[in-house]
Chain A
């Protein structure tokens, strides 16, 4: 069985400040890791993914995440957030079979 824990349900931050959204997982097999973003009343969009290779993965809008096998983590970071980053972010893991989602973290960027 696999599980995903997003440690913070809400993260308030001021515009242009750095942010880290935490994600920890448990799995008995090798994993593939994902971050999805959801804007209000919309579906989820893939933000970035780790399948293999470099443990640091980046998205086109400045987010990055690092796969840390020893700490079973896949935290999402951005050095300077924008108002438009306000959304809910979901970490997901695929182990042996289906995708499992975390509970989500609502990022609230304040001016």
Chain B
């Protein structure tokens, strides 16, 4: 079955450490996204990529980095510069193009919960 796989599901990090969250999709989607979810704040966009080797900052990119070397993969690194990294991180993907074609209908992974100790 096609879908998005995020790993690890739970991750603990000490302050000052970088961690990388994995996101892999086999939906043949061009676009991939990373969101951060905090209680009561909905989803906030960290980074997105609409094509391989290209990505754009979202609303809260500071302290995060991404790469898009393969269409299927969009890993997110939470760096030590991120002041408050404890959160639930969601990866998503979609087709590109006009909304009526299905673009921007996001398929989400199950999420990764990061806790900083």
Contact = CB atoms under 8 A, between A and B. Distances in A.
B2 interface: no
B32 to A, nearest CB: 13
Given A43-B90, A103-B40, A94 B99 contact: yes
Interface residues of B, number: 24
Interface in A78-111: 90, 94, 98-99, 101-104
A99 B100 contact: no
How many A residues touch the partner, as a band? 20 to 34
B110 interface: yes
B71 to A, nearest CB: 20
Interface stretch (A44-52, A54-62, A63-71): A44-52
Which residue among B6, B43, B48, B90 has the maximum number of chain A CB atoms within 10 Å of its CB? B43
Contacts of A34: 105
Contacts of B113: 41
A28 interface: no
Contact of A99 (B40, B106, B107, B110): B106
A-B pairs, 8 with minimum CB distance:
A43-B108, A103-B42, A32-B99, A101-B43, A44-B108, A101-B42, A94-B104, A43-B110
